[in-house]
Amino acid sequence: MVTVQHCGERGYSYSSLSSQFLENRQHFWGSVPFHYGILAVLAGHVAAFLTPGLILGWNAAPLRLFALEATGLALGLVTLVGLVMVCVRRLRSHRMRRVSTVADWIVYGLLLVQVVSGVLVAYFHGWGSSWFATSASPWLWSLVAFQPDISYVAPLPWLVKTHIVNAFVLIAFFPFTRLVHVLVIPNMYLWRRPQVVLWNRRDVRGGGR
């Protein structure tokens, strides 16, 4: 479910329906590594798509290639750990389960498939930054030019194809979920001030606050 809110002079904006008010401690340790990890991984994909020549030039030195591959795998693992913690948080908390929708679980399932398949690709089919620049990047540019050439990706392993297909399914589905808030411009989520949550709990034994 996605809500649209009127924000005064800023007009209308999407709401991510944040659950931070319901539970914050595990939310922090799951959300932070997931968001920053996946943003870094996406930035790497975009760089390989836009500047494949620079990536191949960087990878010409074995040490630089190894450093880039190790960094990508580490970021993928950080993203996976954060995503698993986010999912566990929703499963373990009764309040979180009550506010979770079917669309939420579909998105989490697609994200898990995407991140897990990405980590497995990085582990079993190494030097992905190089073959992405030589295979996936030309194929994506052929899509941009409305002249799709599947010959670039046809020889790739089934695990890579699973990663690609699931990415398109996720892209097609997420505008109808709370993830649509990432399209809001300007997106101040990463640098907004932390939200302060104050709990006013009643002491059952003493009858006070």
174-209 pLDDT, tens digit per residue, is: 888 777 766 665 555 555 555 555 555 555 455 444
Cα–Cα distance, 166 to 28 (Å, whole number): 27
Task: Provide, rounded to the nearest whole percent, the portion of the chain with pLDDT above 90.
Answer: 56
Q: What is the DSSP letter of 168?
A: H
Tell which phi-psi region holds residue 11, choosing left (phi > 0), alpha (psi between -120 and 50) or beta.
left
The pLDDT value recorded for residue 108 is 92
Q: What is the mean pLDDT of residues 127-131?
A: 94
* Residue 187 maps to a domain: no
* Residue 142 maps to a domain: yes
The pLDDT value recorded for residue 185 is 57
* Residue 186 maps to a domain: no
| pLDDT at 146 exceeding the cut of 90 | yes
Print the domain residue range for 98. 24-176
* Residue 192 maps to a domain: no
The pLDDT value recorded for residue 95 is 74
The pLDDT value recorded for residue 101 is 84
Angle at 111 between CA 138 and CA 27, to 5 degrees: 135
* Residue 112 maps to a domain: yes
Band the pLDDT of 89: cuts 50, 70, 90.
Answer: confident
* Residue 3 maps to a domain: no
Q: Report CA-CA distances (Å) from 120 to 74, 75, 163.
A: 12, 13, 10
* Residue 11 maps to a domain: no
Q: What is the CA radius of gyration of the chain?
A: 20
Q: Check if the beta carbon of residue 19 is closer than 8 Å to that of residue 189.
A: no
| pLDDT at 16 exceeding the cut of 90 | no
Cα–Cα distance, 82 to 165 (Å, whole number): 23
Neighbours of 155 (CB within 10 A): 9
**CATH number of the domain residue 28 falls in:** 1.20.950.20
The pLDDT value recorded for residue 46 is 95
- What is the total count of domains within the chain? 1
* Residue 184 maps to a domain: no
